[in-house]
Amino acid sequence: MKRVEVKLSLAVVAPLLDVIKQLAGGLGQKLAAPQELGDIDTEFRDAWVGELLTGQSADVQALLALFDDEFFLEGVVAFDKDNAEPIMRACAAVRLRLREVYLKGLGDDILEGGDVELEELSEPVRKAFMCYLFLATVQELIIQYLDSSIIES
């Protein structure tokens, strides 16, 4: 089983975790990528959305679980076949919510290219932007270093 361990700077990551935790509760109540289900039965739609919310919430909890007591002692997180897929989904959900809540004013080119003057951003937007980039990096690490068969398509 392939496992990737990454050493992170506590001073850099801790404020970003605060941003993720602020959004985590809302991700248990509202889908990061809302589903247009049209004119289907209300009971079916509620069950479908409820299941998606449960999964989204569990994925975000898997992401937050990376940053446990061991992380705060050693600064290391580990990715493997058991947590790669949920963490990928959680990163995507949090990034979507960051775009919706904090990063509306930044275009796709800026968000995906990272070409922004951080000093020009307000503190909350700067932290959200750094969190957005951090989560993108986590996704890239998982894709780059873990066997692609771990992440189901």
Q: Tell me which of 19-23, 36-40, 56-60, 139-143 is least confident.
A: 36-40
Percent of the chain at pLDDT exceeding 70: 93
Residue 119: per-residue pLDDT:
84
Question: Is residue 135 a contact partner of residue 77, using CB atoms and an 8 Å limit?
Answer: no
Burial environment of residue 131 by CB neighbours within 10 A (0 to 12, 13 to 18, 19 or more): buried
Q: Tens digit of pLDDT for each residue in 28-71?
A: 889 898 777 677 788 888 888 899 999 999 999 999 999 999 99
Q: Which helix (H) or strand (E) holds 134?
A: helix 123-145
